[in-house]
Amino acid sequence: MPRLVILGSASAVSNWEHDNTHMALQGDSGDTVLIDCGSNSIVRLLRANIHHEQLTDLILTHFHPDHVHGVPILLMHMWQTGRVTPLRVHGLHHCLHRTEDMMAFFTWDEWPNFFPVAFYRLPEREGMLILDSDEFRITSSPTRHFNVPTIGLRIEVKSSGLVVAYSCDTAPCDSVARLAQGADLFIHEATGYDPEGHSRRCAGRRDCDARRRKAPVPDPLPGVGRRRSKRPHPGGAGHILGSGGTGAGLPGIRPVSRGALRGGRSGPAALWNEKRPDLSGEACVAECICSPFGSRD
């Protein structure tokens, strides 16, 4: 069964329970797509029973440290362990150009017998095709994240026809609403609301101020819940899984889910907890991810 494994669910501020947000998409063949690389992904992959030799593609959503700083250690590890299989790296020109510059600081062009790495630059437009394999079709759309070009992803599972959307880091914008339209599972960041791109500090201050004034917290993605999925879940338009939380007590996490659920406009929502016993390793895949990837019946 195809699976999507959440390897990390923190924002830029990680802790011992939550790593920076990144995930792995694995098909029945074992071929795996790594989405972002903001930490030592090798360790996280091994904990999910995924070997780095199974990685065929790496998608980088944008050039912020919590999404790309693990790329050098990932490439070095695979090189030092004798990888020869090519790796495809996908992303916007802004991100890939800087990623190559980052690797140049380590003089990786001088590392002998390095395996082939191909960089595929994506136009900053909606619905751009990243990958079309026997198992998945993945497209990208731009989001609004401060002044850094960023993409969200839409994953279609060919065996079931079901769809997963991932907002990545973003402020509310129409392109993300369109990205999520009709999705059976929508994974969105949950660091809070900020019109420029989700600043955690500003979001926390704004949400606390709103609570003191007893004012409503702004809806992070207005209108998404009104768009019904292909197969509506009981009581709503689909599953919403929040990522980007670093633990209890961080302002700006819970209001995202409350806002999304306000008025019964969307389906079940949950905040990801990497250390929750029933949401770790294979169990997390079974409980939160495999239902949209498996049969509709």
pLDDT of res. 216: 47
Structure tokens at 77: 């590890």
Q: Looking at this protein, which amino acid is placed at residue 6?
A: I
3-state secondary structure of 288: helix
- Could you tell me whether strands 136-142 and 128-132 are parallel, antiparallel, or unpaired per DSSP bridges? antiparallel
pLDDT of res. 252: 27
pLDDT of res. 121: 98
Q: How many domains does the chain have?
A: 1
pLDDT of res. 215: 47
Burial of 137 (0-12, 13-18, 19+ CB in 10 A): middle
Distance CA 143, CA 146 (A): 10
pLDDT of res. 23: 92
Identify the CATH number of the domain in which residue 236 sits: 3.60.15.10
The maximal CA–CA distance of the chain, rounded, in angstroms, is 62
CA distances in angstroms from 234 to 16, 17, 38, 56, 239, listed in the order given: 35, 31, 35, 36, 10
pLDDT of res. 171: 82
Q: Phi, psi (5° rounding) for residue 211?
A: -65, -40
Q: For the chain (length 297 residues), average pLDDT per consecutive 10?
A: 86 79 92 94 91 97 95 97 97 98 96 97 97 96 92 94 90 87 82 56 43 46 37 32 36 28 39 38 33 36
CA distances in angstroms from 218 to 36, 147, 211, 222, listed in the order given: 28, 22, 12, 9
pLDDT of res. 234: 26
pLDDT of res. 246: 34
Dihedral sign for Cα atoms in the order 286, 280, 37, 115: negative
pLDDT of res. 244: 42
pLDDT of res. 284: 34
**C-beta neighbour count of 258 within 10 angstroms:** 12
* Under 8 Å between Cβ of 78 and 111: no
* Under 8 Å between Cβ of 102 and 68: yes
Tell me which residue has tokens 């790309």.
68
Distance CA 172, CA 167 (A): 10
Distance CA 264, CA 225 (A): 8
Residue 146's domain comprises 3-293
pLDDT of res. 192: 58
- Closest to 166 (Cα-Cα) out of 156, 174, 178, 154: 154
3-state secondary structure of 176: helix
**Geometric angle at alpha carbon 36, from 48 and 41, rounded to 5°:** 40
pLDDT of res. 172: 78
- Closest to 12 (Cα-Cα) out of 285, 252, 226, 269: 252
